[in-house]
Structures are given as structure tokens and as C-alpha cells.
Amino acid sequence: MTELVPEPRSVAAATGEVRLTAHSRLHAGTGTEAVGHWLSTALRQATGLPLREARGRDDATGDGIGLRLGPALGPEEYRLVSDGNGVLIEGGAAAGVFWGAQTLRQLLGPDAYRRAPLDRDRAWSVPYLTIEDAPRFRWRGLMLDVARHFMSKEGVLRYLDLMAAHKLNVFHFHLTDDQGWRIEIKRYPRLTGTGSWRARTKTGHRASPLWEDKPHGGYYTQDDIREIVAYAAERHITVVPEIDVPGHSQAAIAAYPELGNTDVIDTTALSVWDTWGINPNVLAPTDNTLRFYEGVFEEVLGLFPSKFVHVGGDECPKDQWRSSETAQARIRELGLADEDALQSWFTGHFDTWLAERGRRLIGWDEILEGGLAEGAAVSSWRGYAGGIAAARAGHDVVMCPEQQVYLDHRQDPGPDEPVPIGWVRTLEDVYRFEPVPPELTPEEARHVLGTQANLWTEMMEDHARVDYQAFPRLVAFAEVAWSALPAPAERDFAGFERRMAAHYRRLDALGVAYRPPTGPLPWQQRPGVPGRPIDGPPPIR
């Protein structure tokens, strides 16, 4: 079972195998104890083998597993050696050891992903080999939108496990939007009391005539968030929270009407939005709004240790600001050129506020419009252009262009594709995605922190739909983010498909409701629910 994903940097095979038995022991050297605990727990569940703790590395040789730090390796780099001395995984830091442990799990076969053994008498073996491996990018992300359709805490923990299994290390947690506020803020209880649920939900694209006429909602308590963050940290995943400002904020305005442009509309008449699209109701650029969100971010910073905090910044219509005397007075007071500059001022306020507290602001590429504070980073979603402009201006960038890695977009042009949205983005399309634009010089390219796949959940009402849209394409994306692949046209997609044939069995063991290569299963289809397919290939830039 050497059909590994993501593809390692080098694999040297030899003759022979390490047989794990009831006598096998696991030794976790200094600094790897937490990885040892995770690995022994996972393997005991799947194999039924006791894998007792070894007293030292010598006590785990022959048929055992050893974990240790290797100071010559990079933090996420690892070396896995399986030979007559047993299995040894070395990493430059605990993260590297953990990624090596994920590779070991793949080597043991798909049943190593199960929660209980299928056969307690079966043999478990690892072929003799040496694997040397390290990631291409330090930001290998997945964005999950829980605002449009809420995902339970248990569902989020499951996705962290799926990320870890594919060596993804940044979980972008999209917690607020027009359709729901999903995080408890103790000083503002109405954010969840009012803002976490909506009375009904549009079914399908926003032009659809269909509705689900029942309340939808949910939120994470602060203890839930602490648990999610700790669970992620055990898997060497950083959780980056997103609190959307100044657009995508109707849920917050419904809870606290004074946050909206009260001199333009009756904000007390607003409720949590029940449909999709770009919402005209945005935050008012007032001192009250700034103080309110400073209070929100104070509690957010106490829950998330991430260096980066995402503030959204995308799709903020300026019509209300153009009609608002309060907004226009602020533009005059600050000597700003226009409403784009007003949003830049709004973003800059929180960039400074976060920097004073040792954090960094990151936002969608619209935050470039009107100017961007020096320390801010950009999530480039409207193609490559925003990322190129940001990198050339000296800003760090995460590449996540919708034309390439928006996994809510349809996977096939066939009529059975459920609620088809956007361009066709096949497994091969994602595999040939290149995060670093060739227009960048080597110096500019160093600002590309990495890449991220995005799962927007307007059309994903439950975890099975999220699985369908994410997999198997997230596997291809993970290889793009981790492996040192050649140029897109030169990539061995046939070889990747061959390895995927083995990996589907791992996904089966994990209970992932992926899209089969032959097309959606009958229960994965959504006949009669209209989407918004876009014909033709997507624009590259």
C-alpha cells in the first residue's frame, strides 16, 4: 500500500516488511509525546493491537514504532524509515512527526482508518522503505462556511480529522454572514439569540422558487470553540476565524439594528437573511460600530491563538453609504476620496487594532481597493489578479481563486450533478491548479504563503453534501498544496488517478460521501432544484 497522497518527495523501497503484532511497542521521544498519543489511539482503535508504550527506543525495535525529533529537518519535514529495526519517524518538529504518522497510517492500508478492528487476527505490516518528505507551502488551507448552513461541532471535528489525513494545516472558519452568526459573544448575547437562526431557507440558487419553510440555525458556544481549537492544535492545524465586516453583516444588524445605516433604512425591520447573493445591508461606518466590533474581536482573540484574523471585506455594496449623510460626513471628516476609501479606512482601523495586539489582519482581495495597510494579508479569490497586485505591493497572499478551487462549483457538466453552481471544475482541473502565478518574480513569489480551497455552503444543507462537493477534489488540492509538482501541463494525472483508486478505499473507511468517478449516486442527486451553472471554461485571470 504505497499509493500515497499527497505524493511524497521521495520513496525508496526495499524487500521485506515490518509486522506489527500484539508484542509491538511504540516509543515517543521527547517532544513527540502528543503525536505518540494520537497515533497509538488511532491504531489501537483500527487494529485492536495494544501498542504498549516502550521504555526507550531500543524497546521498540524490530516490530515497533519509534517517533523522534530530527534537528536537521525542517519543522514540517519528516523521514520515515521501515526496516529490520522497525518503523522510525523523524520530524524537524512535532508537526513533521505528525505528518509522518499520517503517512504511516496510509501504509497500513485503508482499514487503519476504521474506528474498530474488522478482524482481530489479521496481520498488519509496513513495507520496508525510506520516505523523505516536506511540504511546498506553509499555508495549506480549507475554508468552511458554517454561516449559510450550520455544521455541528462534531461535524467540524470530523473535518479537522479529514484535513489532517491529507496534511492540510489551516482551517479558515467562516463564522458570520448575512444568513447567520455562529459564535457566542458574551457581551452581545443577541448575536446568537437573534442572529444565529433564520425563519426559512432558499433551496437552490437565489432565483429558485423553492423554499424550506422551517427555521435553520445553530452556533458554537465559547467552550465549543475552545474544544475545536484544541482539537485542531493536536493535529497541527491552525484555526483562522473570520468575522465579516463591513459587508455580509445582516445577521449582526438584525440582532443590533444600530449597527446598520439607520438614516437610510429602517434597520429594525431586518431579520436574518433567508436567501443568497450580495446583500445591500452593510455596517454603518460609525464609532459605535467600531467599538462594537472591537468588543467582538476582543472575545475572538481570547479564543483563537492564530496569528491571522480574517475580517472578510468582500462584496460590500456602497449604495447605502452613498445615501447616508452619516457616511458622507465621515468621508468629509477624514478627507477621503470616496466610499472605497471609506471601506479602506474601516479595514485599516482593525488592521491597526489587531497589530497592537500582536495579530495580523487578512481579508478577501477587495480590501486592496482604496489602499491596504502595510501588515495586512490578502486572500485572493476573484482570480489571480488580486494576489498578483498584493504580492507586488509587498503583501502576503493566500491564493484561492474561485475559478480553480471553489469546491462549491460543479464537478461535471452532466444533468445529474446536484444543484450545479459555477464552472465545471473536475478532479483533473483541481490537480492542475498552480497557486503561484508565473508573472511573479522570485522575490514577489515569496509573498505567496500558500493556497486554500473554499467550501461555500449555500447549496450544501448537510455534511453529506459538503463531502460530495469536497471529495475527491480536496485530495487533489492537498497534493497541489503539499507536493513539489511540475508545471500544470506536465503533471502525471494518470498516476494520481491510479493512487486515487487506492485512496477511495481509505475515504470509504472514513465514511466520506465523496462523488464517485462514475458520477453521483441516486441519493446524491437533487432533481428539480435549480442551480446556476456557467458554461465554458473559467477565465484564468
- The catalytic residue positions are 177, 248, 315
Give dist(CA 537, CA 491) in Å, integer.
Answer: 20
Nearest to 74 by CA among 27, 121, 136: 136
Q: How far is CA 235 from the centre of its chain?
A: 14
CB 283 within 8 A of CB 316: no
What is the CB neighbour count within 10 angstroms for residue 253?
28
Task: Locate 69 and state its grid cell.
Answer: 525529533
Task: Locate 242 and state its grid cell.
Answer: 473570520
Nearest to 252 by CA among 143, 156, 154, 177: 177
Give dist(CA 286, CA 228) in Å, integer.
Answer: 33
Give dist(CA 365, CA 314) in Å, integer.
Answer: 7
Nearest to 51 by CA among 96, 112, 100: 112
CB 304 within 8 A of CB 268: no
Give dist(CA 341, CA 320) in Å, integer.
Answer: 15
Nearest to 247 by CA among 182, 313, 187: 313
Q: What is the largest CA-CA distance in the chain?
A: 78
Q: What is the CA radius of gyration of the chain?
A: 24
Task: Locate 346 and state its grid cell.
Answer: 474601516
Do you find a cis peptide bond into 241, omega within 30 degrees of 0?
no
Residue 428 CB-half CA count within 13 A: 11
Give dist(CA 456, CA 144) in Å, integer.
Answer: 7
31 DSSP assignment: T
CB 62 within 8 A of CB 121: no
Task: Locate 485 and state its grid cell.
Answer: 509538482
Task: Locate 199 and state its grid cell.
Answer: 425563519
Angle at 290 between CA 284 and CA 293, to 5 degrees: 105
Nearest to 378 by CA among 306, 283, 310: 310
